[in-house]
Each structure stands twice: as structure tokens, then as C-alpha cells.
Structure 1
């Protein structure tokens, strides 16, 4: 078993594997769009944050250090109960010398019902704060969102970036980061959308396809602080589902902290079905 931090050219292999591992009905897991959204920090930073595990040349697991103490992580569907792999993964994430997670309090976001997760709990890891995944099936046409929606390209990246900054208090998503994100390989199957109130950009979303017949991801979605309470969250989420259907996605998925009841309500109003809560695993 080999643990690797891929170089920039190796990122595409990890993204391809994540695409192949996305299936409707599978547990909520790391998506190629998660890597694509992290790419706003640049290709080199993204490569430095990715970890891969392979055996006999085949990728079996991919992780993303979304924060220094948070590893978002998934395993190939046919290897989720592989005992050898699970034990190696646990050794690697628990030993700071391996360069996966630091010592002290850390968290792992991994799919449910894997041998890896069972071993973490057996070794004293605990559940952290819950998250709520939601899903919308895209087999049927999605209605018009009822507001003006534009697909944003490089020449209007500033509009999308400004809405995201105005949607999240600590956002650092400036124009340069939009362009860095759009230069990444995951963005080949992505779209940035903005909803307008008159001439004002009111809400924004990025959607990430994993390829035809696979679930697509919304990450991130935000409503400008000056335009909240007017239905733009629902409208941009419906537009996101329409865009993913046009890209061939089988479903649209999103995950939000369970305490964010407003976001959960918005996604449900846009036709998403609330799924059972999931939780990170935390080592105190």
C-alpha cells in the first residue's frame, strides 16, 4: 500500500477516480467538485492538500485536507470493506509522522458503512457535529427558476466572486481565485451561475458535474446579504439543478451543517429531498 501526495499532474488521476466513484444511492462522499472548489487556491496548493492511497498501481482512496485539521475522504466502492486497506488507512491518519493529519484534535469526513469508519470508532474516535445531505433527482425536467439567471464566464467573474464574498462572512473569494478555480481540470464540467434582481447580482452558485449519469454537486451556493428573504436562494438552487441536468447529471446533491436550518429549508423548497444526517469523525 502506497500513500502519496500527488504532484500537479497527478491531480487529474485523483479527479478521474472521484468521478468514477460517484453513484446514486451510494453514501455521501468526497466529490470531484470538492477538489474543484479547493482549486481556487491554485493547482500547487490543491496538490499539496490531496492524499492518495494505491495498491498494485490502482487508486483505492483519495483524501483532501480541506482544512489543516479536517480530512475529507472517500474509498473506491469495491474496497470499502477491505480489511487490509482500512487498517492501513487508520495507521496513516493516526500517525502525524505520515503527513496526513497533525497531532491533537482532528476530524475526518468519510462515507458511512465502511470498515475504515468502524475501525475509527473502535479506536475511540467520536461523532462530531451533524451535517444534512440533500438530493434532487434529475430524471424529469426542472422548472424555470422564475428569475434572470446568467452563466458566468471569465469576463464577469467579478460578479460571481462578489456575491460569494457577500454571502459568507469570512469568504476570501476574490476574482483571482475564481480564475484559479476555473483553470482546474474539474471545472471542465462545471458552471457558475448568478441570479439577478434587476441589475444587481443577488445569488450565486457553482455546480460540478461528475459526468453523465452521475450525481452533480452544488458547492458553494450563497445569497447576497442585501437580497435575502426574497426567494433568491430557492431560485438559484433550482437553476443549479437545471444546469446539472443539462450537463447530464443523474441527480443534484448538496450538504450543509444541520444547524443551518435556513439552508436546509431553502434546498427543500427547491425540490431537494432531505437525507439522514451524517457526521464527521473526531479525535479529541
Structure 2
């Protein structure tokens, strides 16, 4: 049967998350994680469903994509079909043609695993490597994680506003609110997620992070992590990163991973100080 692409609807999101969860494993190229859908869920279930695309063949999910904004498609595939020519050509056709409804006309980007055949096909259709590289970072969790020099709390709904305030003060232009935390926490991926707050000696919340497991023995991710702008330069980024790694270890994750723009040198160094190792840079593909 031919490969079809579909919008899953709210009910179908559970299936998409399950597929992404199943595909995570050590030693495979950086790919879309169920936690990425979990963080997007802050906009609500309906908005998340509208941003997700699923490619199937004979009923089986082969690929899942997330429209992370109007001009970026983050897509990954089941590990065994990364070089499947039929799938790669269908993906390429869908992202090239605006009338397919996957990406709009104009300047757009695609993030895909570096070993996916899609990476080889798009440059032949006017796509090029983006100028801005990303640095994936990874920390093995087979050994105990050193306790951070910071009081850490795993929060619930009662601290949603505090967590939102710290995230808002960590990222310029952030629109995150307690309501968005509630929406995120209601999402399917948050069953494997945790939100942490770090407090200074005065009892002020000064750092926040969300961690997302994909199940025992699988890589987990950090998304997002931030330190309040008024409390930077004191090692709090390293401390909350260590806390995130410890939380993922408690959830059974085999490793902790994340990606950040290579140009954000301070962030890369912060993660390194928390025991993360930088992996080879990756680039999106862009058109326009």
C-alpha cells in the first residue's frame, strides 16, 4: 500500500507519542522525542494535534513530524526505515510542495536525523544546509549523578505559577504562564515528565527545568532549562542541569540529552559543566 500522511487529531496524539517513545534508543542519530511534543503541549492538545503529522504504510507509523512554528518541521522516522526510499521520497514530496499542507510556501526549514535518506534528497530540490548549526549534548546516566549544590523541588500544580515566572525570567520574550503549565502537565507525555525548581539560600526560586523520560532504558531529554536573569553567573545553571540528570536517572533513563544552538556558547559550556558531552554539530535544511 502507498504511504499516507495524516493529521492525527487529539485522540491520535497518544499513538504518535507511543511511536516516538518506542523509537528512542542509545546510539541512534538525534531525533524528535516524545518530550518535544510534551513541551509543545503547553499550547493545548488541539494545537499540538494540529501541528503533528504522521506518515503510515499498511497501518504502521513510519514517521512523525512536528510543526514547531509555521516554518520548521521537525521530523523523525522509525529506526529501521531511515533509508527507506519510498518513505524518503514521500517525505520529500510532502515538504517540497506547499499544496500538500505540510509546510507553507516561502522560507522554511526541516530538521531530520542526519542518517535519514531525506537529508540526501532535499538538496536536489533547491534546499540547502542552514547557516546556524546546533550542538547536541548527551550525558550517560549509568553512573550516579552528583547532588547539586542547590535546593531542588519537584513541583506540582501548586507551584505552576512559580515555575512559569522563572521560565519567563529566563527567556526573553517568553509568554509562558501557569495556565500553559497546566496544559503541558495534562498532556500524554507528561506521564513521563517532571518539572524542577532550584532555590537559593534566601528561598527564592532561581532556576527551572523540565525533564522528559521515554521510559526505562531509553534516552530522556531536558526541555526547557533556564536560570532567572537576575541570578546568573553563580553556577545555578550547572546545578539545575545536574538536578535534571538526576531526575531522569530516577525515572530510569539511560542518558540525558538536549540540543542548543552552537552560537549559544554560554549554554553549551553550562551543560558541559553538568557532565554533558557535546556531540558533532547538526544542521537543519532550509529553502528560501
Q: State the TM-score, normalized to the length of structure 1.
A: 0.99
Secondary structure of the corresponding residue to residue 36 of structure 1: helix
Deviation at 1:166, TM superposition (A): 0.2
Alignment of 1:157 with 2:160, yes or no, is: yes
Alignment of 1:267 with 2:261, yes or no, is: no
Alignment of 1:233 with 2:237, yes or no, is: yes
Provide the C-alpha distance between the structure 1 equivalents of 2:32 and 2:53, rounded to a whole number of angstroms: 12
Q: Which runs of 4+ in 1 moved over 4 A?
A: none
Which of residues 197, 213, 222 is equivalent to 1:218?
A: 222
Deviation at 1:122, TM superposition (A): 2.4
Partner of 2:142: 139
Secondary structure of the corresponding residue to residue 67 of structure 1: coil
Deviation at 1:70, TM superposition (A): 0.4
Provide the C-alpha distance between the structure 1 equivalents of 2:155 and 2:193, rounded to a whole number of angstroms: 11
Partner of 2:40: 38
Listed as ranges, the matches of 1:111-130 within 5 Å are: 111-128=113-130, 129-130=132-133
Which of residues 84, 94, 102 is equivalent to 1:100?
A: 102
Provide the C-alpha distance between the structure 2 equivalents of 1:263 and 1:109, rounded to a whole number of angstroms: 21
Name stretches of at least 5 consecutive residues in structure 2 with no aligned partner: none
Provide the C-alpha distance between the structure 2 equivalents of 1:237 and 1:122, rounded to a whole number of angstroms: 40
Partner of 1:79: 81
Deviation at 1:25, TM superposition (A): 1.1
Partner of 1:208: 212
Provide the C-alpha distance between the structure 1 equivalents of 2:133 and 2:15, rounded to a whole number of angstroms: 31
Provide the C-alpha distance between the structure 2 equivalents of 1:248 and 1:257, rounded to a whole number of angstroms: 27
Secondary structure of the corresponding residue to residue 253 of structure 1: strand
Alignment of 1:12 with 2:14, yes or no, is: yes
Deviation at 1:24, TM superposition (A): 1.0
Name stretches of at least 5 consecutive residues in structure 1 with no aligned partner: none
Deviation at 1:123, TM superposition (A): 2.1
RMSD (CA atoms): 0.6
Deviation at 1:139, TM superposition (A): 0.2
Q: How many residues align?
A: 284
Deviation at 1:62, TM superposition (A): 0.3
